[in-house]
Amino acid sequence: MTGYLGTAPTMTRERAIDWPQALQRRFGNEAGSRAYDLFVPSSYGEAALPLVVMLHGCSQTSRDFAIGTRMDHLAEEHGFLVAYPDQPRSANMAKSWNWFRDGDQQRDRGEPSILAGLTHQIMSEFSVDPGRVYVAGLSSGGAAAAVMALAYPDLYAAVGIHSGLAGGSAGSMATAFSTMRRGALPALHRLAHEVPTIVFHGDNDRTVSPVNGDQAMAQARPDVPFKTSTITGRSEGGMAYTRTILTAPDGPWTSEQWVLHGGGHAWAGGNPAGSYTDPAGPDASREMLRFFQSHAMSTV
């Protein structure tokens, strides 16, 4: 990854999103460039903080996604940096991340190289704990997050996939639509990875079939024995859910799958002021941060 376009991390370039410390920035390399918003919590100082890269869904913007997920407010509470890359219409008319194109599914190529590059840019210019860098997304952003976990398991300590798809589920736009409806063909699955993964998916999702949540979880399973436990519950808003936890018996690795009963294609527990949110659901943002906080990657 070489070269970038950006601005110095100075508070004179602040642009308010949910908190006044949000900065407007840009990264670029040979594959292209993307603007992104960076939230810096008020606790930012000498201590290295975790970083979460949040990838919006189709037709959304970085600001819309920040509002809908409330991730800035939680990051202020817990002391996280949050980056919100923005997919322009020049890259995809629907503002979807191109998770389904072969050239945008590989390390050091296409969109993965841009997203990894802006992650490295933030790490080089801000005090970031390199063992606590995470990526999450909704819908096409969730699929892109899965791709990033496959392509850069040495960069991201854990991944959050909401209403998305497993990495490498499709190889073209035509197969993308069929995969969204019916799940990926077995031949399109890549090797399982061991990046800790938390998956949220509504079982009434009519845009991305719930089978894709199952496949994203299957892709995250380690190739070693693991324990499974299941918890059922109901959110404060009244939505029932089933939470399945996979735990490796001899290590800190875990993954979680949240099936949202009656949930559609929307960020659970989100702010209704943002698009594609379901305030009735459990708080996916808070649960993702809780999950991320429990997973750090060794950088020795």
Q: What DSSP line would sit under 207-224, residue for residue?
A: SS-THHHHHHHHHH--SS
pLDDT over 70 (residue 6)? no
Cα gap 110→267, rounded to integer Å: 27
**Is position 138 within any domain?**
yes
**Is position 254 within any domain?**
no
Name beta bridge partners: 160. 136, 198
What are the tens digits of pLDDT across the range 78-129?
A: 999 999 999 999 999 999 999 999 999 999 999 999 999 999 999 999 999 9
What are the tens digits of pLDDT across the range 117-164?
A: 999 999 999 999 999 999 999 999 999 999 999 999 999 999 999 999
Going by the DSSP 8-state scheme, the letter that residue 14 receives in this structure is: B
The closest of 114, 122, 138 to 55, measured between CA atoms, is 138
Once rounded to an integer, what is the mean pLDDT over residues 7-14?
Answer: 32
Tokens representing 154 are 């040495």
Q: Which stretch of DSSP H or E encloses residue 281?
A: none
**Is position 240 within any domain?**
no
**Is position 229 within any domain?**
no
The confidence band for 193, taking pLDDT boundaries of 50, 70 and 90, is low
| pLDDT in the model for residue 174 | 87
**Is position 299 within any domain?**
no
Q: Is 92 exposed, middle or buried (0-12, 13-18, 19+ CB in 10 A)?
A: middle
| pLDDT in the model for residue 187 | 52
The model's pTM: 0.91
**Is position 122 within any domain?**
yes
Domain hosting residue 183, numbered range: 11-224+265-293
Please tell me the total count of domains within the chain: 1
Select the more confidently predicted residue: 138 or 2.
Answer: 138
Expressed in angstroms, the distance from the first to the final Cα of the chain is 22
CATH code for the domain in which residue 135 is found: 3.40.50.1820
**Is position 245 within any domain?**
no
| Average pLDDT for the chain | 89
Once rounded to an integer, what is the mean pLDDT over residues 268-288?
Answer: 97
The closest of 212, 231, 233, 211 to 281, measured between CA atoms, is 233
Select the more confidently predicted residue: 175 or 161.
Answer: 161
Tokens representing 195 are 């990046």
**Is position 40 within any domain?**
yes
Tokens representing 196 are 């800790």
Q: Tell me the longest C-alpha to C-alpha distance in the chain.
A: 52
